[in-house]
């Protein structure tokens, strides 16, 4: 999930849209899906790295 979210950001996707997409992917294509809290932790971590680049 971290890799996908990072790729979306590097491709120029707005963070809010990337966040929505990552939740869609998690809910529909990951078995079992990550809990929202865990997914949000991943998103925050990647956003910090992305902002500091």
User: Domains of the chain: which residue ranges?
Assistant: 2-52
Whether the pLDDT of residue 53 is over 80: the answer is no
Under a CB-based contact definition with an 8 Å cutoff, are residues 1 and 26 in contact? yes
Q: Global pTM? A: 0.87
pLDDT, position 42 = 94
Please state, as a whole number, how many other Cβ atoms lie within 10 Å of the Cβ of residue 10. Answer: 11
Please, which pLDDT band fits residue 9 given cuts at 50, 70 and 90?
A: very high
For the segment 21-37, what is each residue's pLDDT rounded down to a tens digit?
999 999 999 999 999 99
Q: Please report which confidence band the pLDDT of residue 6 belongs to, taking 50, 70 and 90 as the band edges.
A: very high
Enclosing H/E stretch for 37: helix 36-52
């Amino acid at each position: 999930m971290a890799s996908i979210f990072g790729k979306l950001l590097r491709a120029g996707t707005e963070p809010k849209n990337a966040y929505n997409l990552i939740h869609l992917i998690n809910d529909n294509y990951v078995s079992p899906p990550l809990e929202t809290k865990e997914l949000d932790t991943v998103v925050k971590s990647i956003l910090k790295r992305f902002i500091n680049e």
